[in-house]
Amino acid sequence: MGRLAVGVAVGVAVATCAVAGVVVGRRLRSRRKWRRVVGVLRELEDSCETPVGRLKQVVDAMAVEMHAGLASEGGSKLKMLLTFVDRLPTGSEIGTYYALDLGGTNFRVLRVQLGGTRSSILSKDVKRQRIPEHLMTSTSEDLFDFITSKLKQFVEQEETVSEAAQSRTRELGFTFSFPVKQISIRSGFLIRWNKGFAIEDMIGCEIVERLQGALMKKGLDMWATVLVNDTVGILALGHYYDADTVAAVKIGTGTNACYMERADAIIKCQGLLTSSGGMVVNMEWGNFWSSHLPRTTYDIDMDLESPNPNDQGFEKMISGMYLGDIVRRVILRMCEESDIFGPVSSKLLTPFVLEMPLMAAMHEDESPDLKEVAAILRETLEIQDVPLKARRLVVKVCDVVTRRAARLAAAGIVGILKKIGRDGTGGITGSRSKSDAKMRRTVVAVEGSLYTSYMMFREYLHEALNEILGEDVAQHVVLRTTEDGSCVGAALLAALHSSSSSSSSSDGLHRRQ
Ligand code: ADP
Ligand code: MG
């Protein structure tokens, strides 16, 4: 072989080795990066773990905090607010009633005609409207003017001439889903606003008086009979359909729960007597906190950057407003760890850009190539050309975050059942053994899009409920979805407490002297 030929052969060999070296180096680097991304997922999985033992600790903590919140004002992060609702609809309510539901960006007006036998809602008309943004931070006069003018239009549209000519004052249930200190079934003072509302002149004011004044100004002959929170409406509707309903839970933009408590267990209000011996308590459970809740660095960062740090801790792990943002934060971290998702986009840095329905759609994407995931990453987070294996990782992130949320919600529900002795263990003291505690059929009314429209969430919640309670007990616990409970339930309570109803219970509610 000539020298030239040897030289060429050596050159080629060296070049081949160099290329191979570059390729191997690149592969090693990309493998390292992939491992780092997978590491982010593993870390998330570890810190979101909710084995049944931990869930049971959350159950106990919920029951203990409920006790503390009932024992004294400020005794717990759970406010355990009195609602003065001492009885729930039975199905015998009869007549036409209205409801006004204010509790978020939308408000609703409703009219129902009740037939007087269980489950006979003869007609139901609902109108939903957005509250113009400027009114959310304006004055109470502006807000109530707007609401009552819409209510007046609605009444005029819905009523026939002969109905309008009847002399009876129309009765209204008012659903006002903000923290309220109630002093009677139709009177309460606003503690503080949330959900984007900030009308300073209303804080500390009596709410029904404002509404009643605005109704009068409009010349609308209507009487607000009850003031309730949305979960109380859900409980009322649940009970209207099924007398075994003892609690209600809402898991939507935010989350909350209420339940029927024994009046004598409400220690902070000593001597409280009700005609039924019970009272619905609005837990404001979104604010529940326990060191047993599995918290990640993403939760901590989201909380610190929120307008209400250290508040609504449970809600921030469970509800629709927040889950998408936890997922966004995890994807951002993955992006920072590796270039598998390309450069960090400005969208990925934008808080709350990944909304709950999009996150649910990614989680439930069943296409073999995860088309939906790719589209949402591209269009919402501006992350292009994500390889399939990375898209699978995103689905897994959604799964971890949703599974934790649903399992914690299940633990919260069992916490309520435990507090009222319906978890099959004989209540918080555990005085009776499982075998001799006879389980009664127990229904919990549930509303909110996470539960009703997000199948994976619902399935994880049911699975956890079975795990915590055990099948023997779980078979007696029914979660029942209701619809429009926040307003239909308020109208039902207005009917139950109507001045024309013979058994109006507000008279039967007083403090022992
Ligand atoms: P509210 O605002 O009164 O809580 P909803 O019960 O409808 O009303 O809950 C709204 C929340 O549910 C929002 O956070 C919304 O993004 C989320 N959501 C709506 N549709 C879905 C869905 N299909 N899957 C998961 N979450 C959803
Ligand atoms: Mg609502």
Question: Could you read off the pLDDT of 39-48 as tens digits, one per residue?
Answer: 999 999 999 9
Ligand 2 geometric centre to CA of 128 (Å)? 11
Instruction: In whole angstroms, give the CA distance from residue 362 to residue 397.
Output: 10
Q: Is the CB of 132 under 6 A from ligand 1?
A: no
Nearest CA to ligand 1 atom 7: 449
The ligand placed nearest to the CA atom of residue 254 is: 1
- For residue 273, the model assigns a pLDDT of 77
- Which residues are in the CB-under-5-Å shell of ion ligand 2? 103-104
pLDDT tens for 425-460 read: 865 444 444 444 578 999 999 999 999 999 999 999
Q: Give the model confidence (pLDDT) of 28-83 as tens digits.
A: 777 888 999 999 999 999 999 999 999 999 999 999 999 999 999 999 999 999 99
CA of 458 relative to ligand 1 center, distance in Å: 13
Give the Å distance between the CA of 103 and the centre of ligand 2: 5
CA angle 47, 48, 50 (to 5 degrees): 120
Return the ligand 1 atom nearest residue 355 CA.
16
**Residue recorded with tokens 């390309």:** 342
State the pLDDT at residue 6: 63
Minimum-distance ligand 1 atom for the alpha carbon of 321? 14
* Helix and strand counts by DSSP (H, E) for the chain: 16, 15
Reported confidence tier of residue 508, pLDDT bands at 50, 70, 90: very low
The pLDDT of residue 436: 44
- Identify the sign of the CA torsion 136, 142, 146, 152: positive
Amino acid sitting at position 8: V
CA of 230 from ligand 2 middle (Å) equals 7
pLDDT of 55: 98
The finding on whether 450 has its CB within 6 A of some atom of ligand 1 is: yes
Q: For the chain, report the end-to-end CA distance as a whole number of angstroms.
A: 117
Which has the closest alpha carbon to 480: 501, 454, 451?
451
Banded model confidence at residue 233, pLDDT cuts 50, 70, 90: very high
Q: In ligand 1, which atom is closest to the CA atom of 454? A: 24
Distance CA 158, CA 4 (A): 100
* Ligand 1 pocket member 452 (CB < 6 A): no
User: How far away, in angstroms, is 485 Cα from ligand 2 center?
Assistant: 10
Per-residue tokens: 123: 């007609």
Cα dist from 182 to 10, 136, 228, 255, whole Å? 90, 22, 9, 20
User: Residue 171, by phi and psi: left (phi above 0), alpha (psi -120 to 50) or beta?
Assistant: beta
d(CA 509, CA 71): 20
How high is the pLDDT of residue 499?
74
Q: For ligand 1, atom 9, name the residue with the nearest CA.
A: 252
Residues forming a β-bridge with 170: 222
What separation in Å is there between the alpha carbon of 321 and the centre of ligand 2? 12
The pLDDT of residue 98 is 97
Rounded mean pLDDT of 497-509? 55
pLDDT bracket for residue 137 (50, 70, 90): very high
Probe residue for ligand 1, chosen from 449, 453, 483, 484 as the CB with the greatest number of ligand atoms within 8 Å: 449
Strand pairing of 245-251 and 222-228?
Answer: unpaired
Tens of pLDDT, residues 309-359: 999 999 999 999 999 999 999 999 999 998 889 899 999 999 999 999 999
As to burial, measured by CB atoms within 10 angstroms (0-12 exposed, 13-18 middle, 19+ buried), residue 67 is: middle
Main-chain phi, psi angles of 274, to 5 degrees: -125, 155
104 alpha carbon – ligand 2 mean position (Å)? 6
| pLDDT tens digit sequence for 141-188 | 999 999 999 999 999 988 776 676 676 789 999 999 998 999 999 999
Q: Does the beta carbon of 357 sit less than 6 angstroms from any atom of ligand 1?
A: yes
Residue 502 confidence (pLDDT): 47
- Interatomic CA distance for residues 368 and 388, integer angstroms: 10
Q: Convert the pLDDT of each residue in 101-127 to its tens digit.
A: 998 778 999 999 999 886 688 889 999
3-state secondary structure of 505: helix
Indicate yes or no: pTM above 0.75. yes
Instruction: Evaluate if residue 227 carries a pLDDT over 90.
Output: yes
- Please tell me the distance between residue 448's alpha carbon and the centre of ligand 2 in angstroms: 8
Ligand 1 atom 27 nearest Cα: 357
Task: Give the pLDDT confidence score for residue 265 in this predicted structure.
Answer: 95
* Model pLDDT, residue 503: 43
Contact of 357 with 391, CB cutoff 8 Å: no
The dihedral sign for the CA sequence 91, 96, 102, 108? positive
CB of 453 sitting under 6 A from ligand 1: yes
Q: Tell me which residue has tokens 């263990």.
A: 425
Q: Is 89 in the pocket of ligand 1 (CB under 6 A)?
A: no
Mean per-residue pLDDT for 479-491?
A: 96
Looking at residue 192, what is its pLDDT?
87
Res. 3: pLDDT tops 70: no
